[in-house]
Amino acid sequence: MRYGNDDHVYELLDEWAELPDVDSFVDVGRVCIDEDDILVLNRSERPVLKFDAAGRFLDSWGEGCFSGRPHGMGIGPEGEVYCTDDGNHTVRTFTPDGDHRLTLGTENDPSETGHRHSDDVFERIASIDRAAGPFNGPTGVTVPDSGEIFVSDGYGNASVHVFGPDGELRRSWGAPGAGPGEFRLPHSIHHDDAGRIWVTDRENSRIQRFDPDGRFLGEWTDLIRPTDVAIDGETVYVAELCRRVSVFTTDGDLLARWGNEADPEDPLFVAPHAVAVDSVGDLYVGETSYAYTGIDRGVRTLQKFRRV
């Protein structure tokens, strides 16, 4: 089956990944590409799984380092791997081989924002009445060539925090709300080649862009609950929780979009949560279908779309 249109047409490679001794990813927090190897932060017994582009299993690590809620991941300029855990309110740094090096935040000690747990996500977000320091449910992390560590702090906070390479907090920005520089669940964070910082502001159904000091540069609103972004030169790929993937230019022009019209008995997507693109333009879309709906999609929790 093919999806997309014009110059962005993709073929689904069904059950692409060869899982090791687990039968499901359970949920996929984030997917990163490391020299065309695919790193998958997931909620199985093997928190970080590594595959080659053909889906062959290469390695795994991270056992004992996470709560049941690993969420975001980024790769630094030297190949180091950064992972957020919204369950224990930390960000951890690992070597490319998975050796733990640094922890940001205090485990199981969230900052005070007024956040109250509820089974209703909108009630949880509405309970956040102020921004605070790191962390309360950190969601995403990105590390540009400067070595600064940018963290979106979203499930119980409404902030972006920036750390130096030594782990010292340098600055923060954000507040609860819908205005420029305000957030209702900053869900993932990324940087582009121009140094701009992109934040998916999920419950405001937009992406906000900033300079590295937090100055607001603009927003995109042709989205429904965006969860993740992948930036490849002048092309931007967006995963949206409304069961679709969208492709834009960096100026915000829509190039392709698919999903959410699928057969409800066998949907293409249930809860897109992560998107990544490799060097040949193939896409990887990970989902949190189990957390969102109680549906375990097994190996289909991560799907690969080969660019045609």
Angstrom distances, CA of residue 42 to CA of 79, 140, 289: 19, 14, 12
Question: Where are any strands of DSSP class E within 233-301?
Answer: 235-240, 244-249, 254-259, 272-277, 283-287
CA torsion, ordered 44, 125, 162, 31, to nearest 10 deg: 30
Q: Which amino acid is at 122?
A: F
C-alpha–C-alpha distance, residues 31 and 28, integer Å: 8
C-alpha–C-alpha distance, residues 183 and 33, integer Å: 28
Q: What pLDDT shows up at residue 69?
A: 97
Q: Report residues of the chain scoring pLDDT below 70.
A: 262
Q: What pLDDT shows up at residue 262?
A: 63
| Residue linked to tokens 């991270």 | 62
Q: What pLDDT shows up at residue 252?
A: 96
Nearest to 223 by CA among 207, 236, 199, 237: 207
C-alpha–C-alpha distance, residues 150 and 72, integer Å: 12
Give the contacts of 253 (CB within 8 A, at least 6 positions apart): none
Q: What pLDDT shows up at residue 21?
A: 87
**Pick among 3.30.2290.10, 2.30.110.10, 2.120.10.30, 3.40.190.10: CATH of 2-307:** 2.120.10.30
Are the beta carbons of 196 and 217 closer than 8 angstroms? yes
